[in-house]
Amino acid sequence: MKRFMFGVIASLFAVQVATAGETSTVYTFDGSFDDAAFSVESAIIGKGLVIDYVSHTGAMLNRTSEDVGSEVKLFEAADVFIFCSAVVSRKVMEVDPMNIAHCPYGIFVAERENKVMVGYRHYPSGAMQEVQALLDEIAREAVGE
């Protein structure tokens, strides 16, 4: 579980992509969690997109760990930025209306073991690769690539 979504460490100057069990792409951010969160928010807004919600997943996991009988601290901090793109969503749903199952989209920022990461989940082949390309563009911009 500790390696659930995160695996590769890289510097901002030599950014490497981690594929965690082929479920997500993760980039290392050279800076603080707060700076990474601001960078992701700015990259999303810079694309003309609106952030619908920020899920404070790390805070929830830390707050509820005792309630579920765990002493494991998974993250120092972890947020997921939830948003959509009317243009891209319409395009992929016109190919297959059931692509609605993948909307909205999310990019996460997490700090674990003094390492800050920015990433997103992978989407199925076909039309949804356009969404994945958008997420990758935003994540790369956020980490300064």
The CATH number of the domain where 108 resides is what? Answer: 3.30.310.70
> Cα(106)–Cα(53) distance, rounded to whole angstroms?
10
Is residue 135 included in any domain, yes or no?
yes
Question: Alpha-carbon distance 79 to 37, whole Å?
Answer: 8
Which pLDDT belongs to residue 105? Answer: 97
Q: What pLDDT was estimated at residue 10?
A: 31
User: Would 61 be classed as within a structural domain?
Assistant: yes
Q: What is the pLDDT of residue 4?
A: 31
Task: Give whole-number Cα distances, 41 to 21, 50, 65, 81, 139, in Å.
Answer: 26, 9, 27, 8, 10
The reported pLDDT for the residue numbered 14 is 30
118 belongs to a structural domain: yes
Find, among 23, 1, 36, the residue nearest to 144 by Cα: 36
Q: Which domain holds residue 70?
A: 12-143
Q: Is position 66 within any domain? A: yes
Task: Tell me the helix, strand and coil percentages in the chain, rounded to 5.
Answer: 40, 25, 35
Residue 21 lies in a domain: yes
In a domain, 5, yes or no: no
* 4-8, 65-69, 84-88, 90-94: least confidently modelled range: 4-8
26 near 138, Cβ under 8 Å? no
**94 in a structural domain:** yes
Q: What is the mean pLDDT of residues 8-27?
A: 55
Euclidean distance between CA atoms 9 and 18, whole angstroms: 8
Greatest Cα pair distance in the chain: 46
Question: Structurally, how many domains does the chain consist of?
Answer: 1
Q: pLDDT at residue 28 above 70?
A: yes
pLDDT digits (tens, 9 = 90+) for 104-127: 999 999 999 999 999 999 999 999
Evaluate whether residue 1 is within a structural domain. no
How confident is the model at residue 5, as a pLDDT?
31
pLDDT of residue 22: 81
3-state secondary structure of 121: strand
Q: Is the pLDDT of residue 13 over 90?
A: no
CA distance 102 to 128: 8
Helix or strand holding residue 46 (H, E): helix 33-46
- pLDDT level of residue 3 (50, 70, 90 thresholds): very low
